[in-house]
Amino acid sequence: MIENKRINPCFGDIFETHKAKWIGKSKVLGSESAPAPLIRKIAQLKKEVSKATLYVTGLGQYEGFVNGMALDEKIVFAPTVSDYEKTVYYNKYDITSKLKNGENVFGFILGRGRYAFNTAGTPWNGETALWADQVKMIAVAEVEYRDNTKDYIVTDESWEAKDSGILQDCMYMGETFDARVHDFEWKSSKSTKGWENCVQVSKPRGTLTYDFSEPIAVTEKVKPKLCKKISDRQFMLEFDKYLTGWIELQIDCEKDTEVSIQYTERLDEKGVPYLFHTITPNGRLQKDFFISSGEKFTYRPMFSYKGFRYVLIEGIENLDISDATGCFVHSDIKSITEFKCSDELINWIHHASRRTILCNFHGLSTDTPVFEKHGWGGDAAAISPSVMYNFDAHKFYRKWMKDFLDSQTDEGEISVIVPTPGWGISGKTRWKAVCGPTPAADVCWPEIVYRLYWCYEDIDALKENYDGLKKYASYLKKWTNGDLIKKGLGDWLAPTGDVMHDYAEPPEGPELVEGAYHIRIFERMTQIAEALGKEDDAKEYALERERLIKIFNDTYFDEEKGYYHKKDYTPFRQSGNVLAIAFGIATDEIRSKVMENLIADLEERDWHTCMGMYTSMYLPIVLSEYGYHKDACKVVMAKGYPGLDYIRQKGASTVSEAWEYDGCRSCCHYAIGAVENWIMTYLCGIHQLAPGYKKVMIDPKLPDGLDNFELSMDTIRGTIKVKCERKNGQVIKSVSVSEKIEAL
């Protein structure tokens, strides 16, 4: 059963109470080549310790040690990313077992992360963020003795700092580590040279808040399935599945040897790992450099994770497969679901969707672990039902929704990426399609906030976000001046018909899809207001939704053709028509006509979709919901391009950004894998009827071509189990639910 504890914000009063200071190294990190600083404190404890707790944060990221022992062996990239103008997260560790009588050494190494990002020229202008500043930290160690007295060790100018061997770190480019200059004894008092006193630095403007969400952690370590020599001093590694994280690499070579470690998603025509695309001015992406001191060393980066399946290693004479270990790194959310069936494709969709989700969960829900690493709202809204069916994402999403609240402008605008360094906000971005309201992306906020209530019965999530959501709704109404929105991204990355080339913008333009999501936002606002008992607001939002529906139907529905289209683009397109049905825009009469055209279009396409990342997940849902379940199965299980089976046949272990697997940018992008929602709802038949799974209808359907499936899923009220199998021409169904769940 999912633990369902109330999430209460806890602020960092302990830092102010005990007068801890924000400290850093005197050298401001103003250039890309400035090394990551080491910071330490040697403290004397003269009594027997009964309990000790460390409160700490470091911006952008930190790794900490007490007497040479890591604060946590698995946790990395602390603290969780945030909008540092409003919120700065701190962490808490029990360090009782790490302390001893006498001398104790507290050591920290600080990385840039998003806070001190200063690589100019990337598309999202991270170096110009309002929060951008030098790396810094603050800490309080509360030490309780057996005689009931306490000591507090706090950051101040008595702490020491020096440069580390990490000469450069960037979340996109990678890291450069020089073992020749790194002080490997820095975590102990044996290191005496090169230290200087820390300086007090400006504190970030965000409020110090306890980091309640799941940490980013090394959750699994795997060996490569292949180690191959390509040429002299050049080797490649291949892993069985896509990973986010890094490799631990044992390096034993002569002093001054430079070893490069390039992480990639693909192989070129010769079978050599290569980068399909890059986003940095110098072309360096996901590439670490290690400079040897002549001593054997196991290297891994500290402040940069990669998305990869292949690794190209250059500069060493020999490499054995035992020398490398892949580390899978992501937010450590708990899996709540086990599913298996007799069909290889559906099993692949389930596992690939889950893996793609994990590969894109690093304190926020990202679009790709390679090229952007940003929290794109439209992608995340699409996958959110699948996430909540498969993982306990309560804390994760609650934290990320706080980022939306923090990132909102005074006018009510939110960016298509959250948190944002400023990109996507009017006046700060040249790309007009993403400035101002962009409903297909902005829907993420009300969609996930409402799902936090629907799935976890978290009324506090609604309360915390309501004023911000209300301000956004007012902003949207004012910006559109009473009309439906006409701009945005639309049906992003719909299939092009050319497997070697994707194209982002749909041929019909953005109007229908953005207009449908415009209406969806007011549907969610109505539901949120109703759940909070705000009857006047709920009535206002419901009336606005009905008004917009009339505009949509009057503007886009063609009575003669029997489907929706723009006046200047008349061919039938699945996306706008499917959303009109999915979001309750189409009347019963209109829906009947649209469904006829939809089925005809699918038959002509041999049951293949022509929809993009913000819409395709609704196609099988609409078909199953309105009596075409067999046809929904045909769509999901369609062979060839465009379809998920086409991606599977490429040997992928994750879902790609676009249907054109070989021609698209990213091999790990979850949006078109959101059909997982259909697997849980319409195949396994779990229809939630009340918040928190208080009441459900379970109606599993075993389609032709599928012999069996089995599902076990935890909820906040206990476990739901569904099993279907075909025996002697009969479908045998077995269902069990927790006694706390009312099942129909």
d(CA 6, CA 403): 19
Best-predicted range by mean pLDDT (8-12, 204-208, 725-729): 204-208
d(CA 98, CA 630): 60
* The pair of three-digit structure tokens given for residue 113, joined into one six-digit string: 């992360």
Residue 28 confidence (pLDDT)? 58
Mean pLDDT over 554-571 rounds to 97
* The pair of three-digit structure tokens given for residue 13, joined into one six-digit string: 């009063």
Pairing of strands 287-291, 174-178: parallel
DSSP 564-595: E-BTTB-S--HHHHHHHHHTT-S-HHHHHHHH
Residue 501 confidence (pLDDT)? 79
| 511-531 vs 535-556: helix crossing angle, rounded to 10 | 160
List C-alpha distances in Å: 521 to 388, 454, 723: 20, 16, 36
Residue 228 confidence (pLDDT)? 97
* Per-residue burial over 386-412, b = 16 or more CB atoms within 10 Å of its CB, e = otherwise: bbbbbbbbbbbbbbbbbbbbbbbeeeb
Mean pLDDT over 218-246 rounds to 97
Q: Write the pLDDT tens digit of every residue in 318-355.
A: 999 999 999 999 999 999 999 999 999 999 999 999 99
Which residue's structure tokens are 């001015």? 281
* The pair of three-digit structure tokens given for residue 32, joined into one six-digit string: 């890309």
Q: Is the pLDDT of residue 27 over 70?
A: no
| pTM confidence score | 0.96
List C-alpha distances in Å: 329 to 222, 248, 590, 700: 12, 12, 48, 35
Mean pLDDT over 496-506 rounds to 82
Q: Is the pLDDT of residue 30 over 60?
A: no
Q: Is the pLDDT of residue 529 over 80?
A: yes
Amino acid at 69: M
Q: Is the pLDDT of residue 616 over 70?
A: yes
> Which residues are 566's β-sheet partners?
569
d(CA 332, CA 658): 27
Residue 31 confidence (pLDDT)? 52
Q: What is the DSSP letter of 35?
A: P
96 in Cβ contact with 256 (< 8 Å): no
* The pair of three-digit structure tokens given for residue 267, joined into one six-digit string: 């192989």
Residue 659 confidence (pLDDT)? 95
Shortest CA distance to 680 belongs to which of 620, 613, 630, 628? 620
Mean pLDDT over 430-451 rounds to 95
Q: Is the pLDDT of residue 33 over 70?
A: no
Furthest C-alpha separation in the chain: 88
Residue 404 confidence (pLDDT)? 98
Q: Is the pLDDT of residue 617 over 60?
A: yes
Q: Would you call 708 helix, strand, or coil by DSSP?
A: strand
Q: Walk across the sheet containing 742-743 and list its strands.
A: 686-688, 695-698, 742-743
Instruction: Phi first, then psi: give them for residue 539, nearest 5 degrees.
Output: -65, -40
Residue 428 confidence (pLDDT)? 87
Mean pLDDT over 559-573 rounds to 96
Q: Write the pLDDT tens digit of every residue in 191-208.
A: 999 999 999 999 999 999
All structural domains of the chain, each given as residue ranges with its CATH number in brackets, are 13-213 (2.60.120.260), 219-331 (2.60.120.260), 334-683 (1.50.10.10), 684-744 (2.60.420.10)
Q: What is the mean pLDDT of the chain?
A: 95
Q: What is the DSSP letter of 157?
A: T
* Per-residue burial over 718-736, b = 16 or more CB atoms within 10 Å of its CB, e = otherwise: eebebbbbeeeeeeeeebe
Q: Is the pLDDT of residue 742 over 90?
A: yes
SS (H, E, C) 69-122: EECCCCEECECCCCCCCCEEEEEEEECHHHCCCEEEEEEEEEECCCCCCCCCCC
Residue 32 confidence (pLDDT)? 54
Q: Write the pLDDT tens digit of every residue in 667-694.
A: 999 999 999 999 999 999 999 999 999 9
Residue 283 confidence (pLDDT)? 87
* The pair of three-digit structure tokens given for residue 58, joined into one six-digit string: 């470091």
